[in-house]
Chains A and B, each alone.
Chain A
Amino acid sequence: MGLLEAISLAVLAASTPLLIAATGELVAERAGVLNLGVEGMMIVGAACGFGGAWLTGSTMIGALCGIAAGTLLSLIFAMMTLGLAVNQVATGLALTILGVGLSGLIGARFVGERIATAPHLHIPGLTDIPLVGRILFGEDAFVYFSLALVVGVWWFLYRTRAGLVLRAVGDNHASAHALGHPVLRIRLFAVMFGGACAGLAGAYLPLAYTPFFIPGMTAGRGWIALALVVFASWRPVRLVIGAYLFGAVTILQLHAQGWGVGIPSQFMSALPYLATIIVLVLISRARTGGSTTPAALGTVFVPDR
């Protein structure tokens, strides 16, 4: 396997959790809900995902455990922000703090254990094509699923009536409410979808990326996913570009460390975080005209009866 091929495979693997988590958050934010708890839902998804796979030996069950964990946590968030009209920023932070603690508690007994990584697709002939074969036809199921997810979300948001209503709720909840759309119920589903995606993205890490669980293994990926949504201007297709760009930065800095470039490893490790800041600045500055930010993003909605 050539170096270029190895790097491309690694980039895809590093990008996939970002893409899945960001897609979920994009839907929630399109409905007007800013859930800053992505990191917390991811890390609990990672612990539960590993636990499920370790106990049953099945990657599939691990992934489902991750999804269930993320969804459950998102329900707490929904209860607070939608049911009790609590500030979304503060609640999201609380979710992340809680998630970090919970994952440590759940994952404590799994530390040091190993599981088999998720199987990779193998189509005789196609997968063996030099250079592109393994990249196109030799990934694990998560990679294909993440791309299908983006296409599905794009289709839902822009080609279905329900998607139109969801976007309307995110842009102007008062008008949507006046038209008779159940604002809070739509937001509930959007938040749950975001939670499920974050849980799955977290589960991807121990199931496919590294075959073990380490406390804090998400290492800020949930926050980077949040930044990606901004980077993508809340458009699903741009999310793919953003996620792969960030995956590339992550992998390249790892390789650069391996090559012994004369820069301290800590500075290379800081690159993804610094890149996030720079990208946020550039994107936010470029978007002063015609904003695509959901207009009601982060605002509380209390229906007047």
Chain B
Amino acid sequence: MHLVLERRTEQSRTIALVSPLIAIGLTLVTMSILVAILGTNPISALGVYFIDPLTDGYSLQEIAVKATPLVMIAIGLSLCYLANAWNIGAEGQFLIGAVAGSWLAVKTHGTDAGPWVLPAMLLLGAAGGALYSLIPAICKVRFAASEILTSLMLVYVADLVLDYLVRGPWRDPAGFNFPTTAAFDPVATVPVLIEAGRLHLGAVIALVVVAAGMVLLGKTIKGFEIRVVGAAPRAARFGGFNSNQLVLLTFAISGALAGLAGIIEVAGPVGNLRPGISPGYGFTAIIVAFLGRLNPVGILIAGLFLALTFIGGEQAQIAMKIPLDVTKVFQGILLFYVLACDSLILYRFRLIFASPKVSRGAA
């Protein structure tokens, strides 16, 4: 008996819509088994993970807060992946964006700077992320160096840059030697949407990014070029599309969005620059992009779902002593299932019970 893949002549739309759901279902089954092995009742664990956060207002806000960076980064990454450019260093671009924007917050700290500070910080954050992402993009276009490896290496570098700044020149002199900058001034802080709540303006910006992604991919020629270059590189060449330029463009956009997400995170929920500002948003966003099938609306839904796993994971750790690493395992397994189910869209699986030798002879 063996498995045979047959290429579908027409891609199935139903399966394209259902496949992420199948993947989530399979992941839940797998995780239930894992949680049971760890000695916890899987039903109650799933309840704490996926139902409890949806039942109180604070957690709902927190999901939106966590989904904000995930969605923004994933929209940018989806453009890269559609164009077959493998930016996996969004985590680093997120950190550098946070650093670039924080520079202004640190410089204007304690001065009577006006309300222009925050918009300028957001611009700086986006610019910082974009420039940082252009390093691997230029290395790829100009020198044919693998963007996968260079962008990933830059994550470690970004981490060290941030670490240096908050322990060195930017450390808050009144901060009891903790490696953080001073708390950002009110003019350098992203405003919250609800009085005394956690939901902040970043969520609105994330929605705007989703809408912009839909327009770019659905309504513009650039969006069309991005999709063609990835799906049919030969056709793109005949069409005269400049694939190098598209690599630079998609990298720059995704870097800018990751950087923007970074500065929004530190100027919003975190409140100052410090190590550990990201629980791996840049990597989780890769999963969000694929779970959302590289589609802006899909990414929005997927971002909310993965944000739920972060919150659920924290609550499960507090309530049931389930280690936080279970969330990472969950996310990894989810990506596996998503990719496997995506294969269903391209291929029809068929189990053959006869000897493979026979069919090969016939062909």
User: Is B290 in contact with chain A by the CB < 8 A criterion?
Assistant: yes
- Are B157's CB and A273's CB within 8 A? yes
Given contacts A89-B86, A90-B339, whether A305 and B328 have CB atoms under 8 Å apart is no
Does A260 interact with chain B (Cβ within 8 Å)?
no
- Complex CA–CA separation, A97 to B339 (angstroms): 14
Q: Do B336 and A98 touch across chains, with their CB atoms under 8 A apart? A: yes
B150 touches A277 (CB 8 A): yes
Find B154's partner among A100, A273, A281 (CB 8 Å cutoff). Answer: A273
- Chain B residues, CB < 8 A from A102: 325, 329, 332
Q: How far is the CA of A302 from the CA of B290 in the complex (A)?
A: 22
Chain B CB within 10 A, most for which of A102, A108, A287: A102
Do A86 and B88 touch (CB < 8 A)? no
A89 to B147, CA, bound (A): 12
Residue of B nearest to A79 (CB): B340
Q: Knowing A97-B335, A270-B156, A288-B144 touch, does A86 contact B340 (C-beta < 8 A)?
A: yes
B30 to nearest A CB, angstroms? 11
A135 at the interface (CB under 8 A from B): no
B144 touches A97 (CB 8 A): no
Interface centre among B164, B327, B332 (most CB of A within 10 A): B332
Bound-state CA distance A230–B329 (Å) is: 29
Interface presence of B237 (CB below 8 A): no
**CB-CB nearest in chain B for A180:** B360
Q: Which of A98, A219, A224 contacts B332 (CB 8 A)?
A: A98
Contact of B149 among A101, A105, A226 (CB under 8 A): A226
* Docked pose: A174 CA to B325 CA in angstroms: 41
B21 within 8 A of A: no
For chain A, residues 32 to 90, give those with C-beta under 8 angstroms from any C-beta of chain B: 36, 76, 80, 83-87, 89-90
Interface stretch of the complex, out of B2-10, B98-106, B119-127, B250-258: B2-10
Q: How far is the CA of A224 from the CA of B86 in the complex (A)?
A: 17
Q: Are A97 and B149 in contact (CB under 8 A)?
A: no
Chain A hits for B332, CB < 8 A: 94-95, 97-102
Decide if B168 is an interface residue (CB 8 Å cutoff).
yes
- With A98-B329, A98-B336, A101-B325: A220-B150 Cβ-Cβ less than 8 Å: no
Given A76-B336, A223-B149, A284-B144, A101:B286 Cβ within 8 A: no
Which chain B residues border A226 with CB–CB below 8 Å?
Answer: 149
Given contacts A36-B148, A108-B323, A281-B143, contact A266 B163 (CB under 8 A): yes
Cβ A80 vs Cβ B325 within 8 A: no
Asked whether A10 is an interface residue with its Cβ less than 8 Å from the other chain, the reply is: no
Chain A contacts of B150 at CB under 8 A?
A: 276-277, 280-281
Are B153's CB and A223's CB within 8 A? Answer: yes
Give bound CA distance, A223 to B148, whole Å.
9
Distance from B259 Cβ to chain A, minimum over Cβ atoms (Å): 19
The answer to whether A230 touches B149 (Cβ under 8 A) is: yes
Q: CA of A87 to CA of B283 in the docked complex: distance in angstroms?
A: 17
* A-side contacts of B156, CB under 8 Å: 219-220, 270, 273
Interface majority SS (helix, strand, loop, mixed), chain B: helix
Contact with B along A92-119 (1 / 0, CB 8 A): 0111011111101100100000000000
A267-B160, A269-B160, A284-B144 as given contacts; A84 in contact with B153, CB under 8 Å: no
Total chain A interface residues with beta-carbon distance under 8 A: 50
Chain A residues with CB below 8 A from B143, complex form: 281-282, 284-285
Contact with B along A250-287 (1 / 0, CB 8 A): 00000000000000101101100110110011111101
- Closest CB-CB distance, B334 to chain A, in whole Å? 9
A23 adjacent to chain B (CB < 8 Å): no
Mask, A12-47, CB within 8 Å of B = 1, is 000000000000000000000000100000000000
Interface membership of chain B positions 1-26, coded 1 if the CB is closer than 8 angstroms to chain A and 0 otherwise: 00111010000000000000000000
Q: Give, as a whole number of angstroms, the nearest-CB distance from A239 to chain B.
A: 16
Chain A 136-161 per-residue mask, 1 if CB under 8 angstroms from chain B, else 0:
00000000000000000000000000
Our pick among B164, B323, B343 for the contact of A104 (Cβ within 8 Å) is: B323
Contacts of A94 in B (CB 8 A): 287, 332, 335-336, 339
B139: interface (CB < 8 Å): yes
Residues of A within 8 A of B148 (CB): 36, 89
Residue from the list A36, A90, A266 in contact with B164, Cβ < 8 A: A266
Report B163 CB to chain A, min CB distance, Å.
Answer: 5
Complex partner residue of A80 from B154, B328, B340, B349, CB under 8 angstroms: B340
**Chain B residues near A288 (CB-CB < 8 A):** 144
CB of B342 within 8 Å of the partner chain = yes
Distance of A220 Cα from B331 Cα, bound (Å)? 20
Question: Known: A285-B143, A302-B7. Is A80-B347 also a contact (CB below 8 A)?
Answer: no
Say whether A101 contacts B144, CB under 8 Å.
no
A90 touches B335 (CB 8 A): yes
28 A-B pairs whose Cβ atoms sit less than 8 Å apart in the complex: A84-B343, A86-B339, A91-B336, A94-B332, A95-B332, A97-B332, A98-B336, A101-B327, A101-B331, A101-B332, A104-B323, A104-B325, A105-B325, A220-B156, A223-B152, A226-B149, A266-B167, A270-B157, A274-B153, A277-B150, A280-B139, A280-B146, A282-B143, A284-B145, A285-B143, A304-B363, A305-B362, A305-B363
List residues of chain A with CB under 8 Å of any chain B CB: 36, 76, 80, 83-87, 89-91, 93-95, 97-102, 104-105, 108, 219-220, 223-224, 226-227, 230, 264, 266-267, 269-270, 273-274, 276-277, 280-285, 287-288, 302, 304-305
Among all A-B residue pairs, the 3 with the closest Cβ atoms: A98-B332, A101-B328, A104-B325
- In addition to A80-B336, A91-B336, A284-B145, 20 A-B residue pairs with Cβ atoms within 8 Å of each other are A36-B148, A84-B343, A93-B286, A97-B283, A97-B331, A98-B333, A100-B328, A100-B332, A101-B325, A220-B152, A223-B153, A230-B146, A273-B157, A276-B150, A282-B143, A284-B143, A284-B146, A302-B7, A302-B347, A305-B359
